[in-house]
Amino acid sequence: MHTRRIGDVDVSAIGLGAMPMSIEGRPDEERSLATIHAALDAGVTLIDTADAYHRDADEVGHNEILIAKALASHDRGGDVLVATKGGHLRPGDGSWTLDGSPRHLKEACEASLRRLGVEAIGLYQFHRPDPRVPYAESVGAIRDLLDEGKIRMAGISNANPEQIRLANEILGGRLVSVQNQFSPAFRSSEPELDLCDELGIAFLPWSPLGGISKAAELGSGHAPFARIADAHGVSPQRVCLAWMLAKSPMVVPIPGASRPETIRDSLAATDLTLTPEERAELDAA
């Protein structure tokens, strides 16, 4: 498995996005554990989660608990960087709400520590800006957690360039990751990707294949990806991830998966080399 760097940690060039295993339409636990184990067997050392990745109101942290169980039952579980997030909530009615208050973020971190069964969270990210709370106050809470040793590395998610620069300043240059939406259909995070490349901060595209309901349609919705996939004899999804990896050494995609075969196909993108002409065609698609 090819590796990339988040902060001072080498991780697999493609991580596992675990959200599909805990929200609506999720598989049974047996298949979820098999998916995580398949990822570990293939060399994945980065798993993305959040306390808000659950379905019902009374199961906050479902995904974190699932990951902890999967890691504890695999001989490579100790080699994985688990990236979790706080500041987003799910009341249980299918909606998403926000709480970026320092008090909530610190309480959420403590709860995530317990669910993951660790003394310090490998990478903790502020999930989404809360318009009711000054951004500096939210990031200040993340800084406090870092200073207290509750988290080993700090990141932010769903941030714009101004927020990235501000967060890095508040964290004293210790911002290691930015997790934003980025896919063939959603490219408005290009400025953030470019800034991360400039600053040496890992950029983690979420929903890189277009999201749970759209991933299977990537080829039909974006013809160049399908054409280049046919030329290489691989899936359009694999081409998509190879394209992202080629954009910057700071890019670490985290495609979601809920089946072993899906994550295996995604991971194979690290061995797919696109020509400059193919990359240019995909950039323009």
| Structural domain total, the chain | 1
Q: Please work out, in degrees rounded to the nearest 5, the angle formed at the alpha carbon of residue 19 by the alpha carbons of 179 and 96.
A: 80
* pLDDT tens profile 117-127: 999 999 999 99
The token duo for 53 is 């990745």
Provide CB contacts within 8 A for 133, sequence distance 6+. 100, 101
* pLDDT tens profile 68-116: 999 999 999 999 999 999 999 999 888 999 999 999 999 999 999 999 9
Spatial distance between the Cα atoms of 173 and 59, rounded to a whole number of angstroms: 35
172 belongs to a structural domain: yes
Contact 27, 258 (CB under 8 A): yes
177 belongs to a structural domain: yes
220 belongs to a structural domain: no
Task: Answer left, alpha or beta for residue 103, where phi above 0 means left and psi between -120 and 50 means alpha.
Answer: alpha
Confidence (pTM): 0.96
Residue 69 maps to which CATH number?
3.20.20.100
pLDDT at 213: 76
29 belongs to a structural domain: yes
Res 211 pLDDT > 90: no
Q: Which residues are catalytic?
A: 53
Range of the domain at 181: 3-213+248-264
pLDDT at 220: 85
122 belongs to a structural domain: yes
pLDDT at 221: 85
- Coil/strand/helix, residue 131: coil
274 belongs to a structural domain: no
140 belongs to a structural domain: yes
230 belongs to a structural domain: no
